[in-house]
Amino acid sequence: MNKIKEWLLVKFDKDKAMNPYVAGALTGLLIILSVLVSGNYFGTSTSFVQLIAILENTIAPERMAQIRYFTIVDPVWSWQIFFVMGILLGSFATAKIFGEFKWQSIPDLWRDNLGSSKYKRMILAFLGGIIAMIGARLAGGCPSGQMSALILLSVSGLAAMTMFFIGGIVAARLIYGGGEK
């Protein structure tokens, strides 16, 4: 069992992450398995739209009938919604297994670099979420969907993933300033 842990992790402690090459290979295998089993590639951004549509359809079905977008995307409990639930449950289970789960409104790295204001954290998280969803809609999918496009050797997938990496590096440098991690 220790050999498996060593293979999966750079070092089995809280300060080290999974080996990025192993993580990338496992992600690729998971996408292949997903396509073989369900016929679906990764993607999550549509699930949020579908959940809101399900809620709106319950509250104001006459309004839902007027929205043309939902003639393309059905407001149903799709595989993507369950995929997102699986991501949440899997993240929780992994954090518990590795002893890293804790309830906190301000992550330690955020507190160290940006202070302990809960309001600042909520506002920036909300704005970041809005920007991410607008970007996902403009790009025709979220990063996981673009990763699937890249696996299919799509030029748009390559362009999107390149921009995600560049944007992530720039944002991390601006927010965290390089730090020790």
How many whole angstroms separate alpha carbon 39 and alpha carbon 27? 16
pLDDT band at 160 (very low <50, low <70, confident <90, very high): confident
DSSP reduced 3-state for 9 = strand
pLDDT at residue 11, rounded to an integer:
46
Phi, psi of 62 (to 5 degrees): -65, -35
| 42-92 pLDDT per residue, tens | 777 778 888 888 888 888 888 888 888 877 777 888 888 898 899 899 989
pLDDT band at 3 (very low <50, low <70, confident <90, very high): low
Which structure tokens are listed for 118?
A: 């809960």
pLDDT at residue 12, rounded to an integer:
46
Mean pLDDT of the chain: 80
Please check whether residue 91 is in contact with residue 57, taking contact to mean a CB–CB distance below 8 angstroms.
no
pLDDT at residue 179, rounded to an integer:
55
| 22-48 pLDDT per residue, tens | 878 888 888 888 888 888 877 777 788
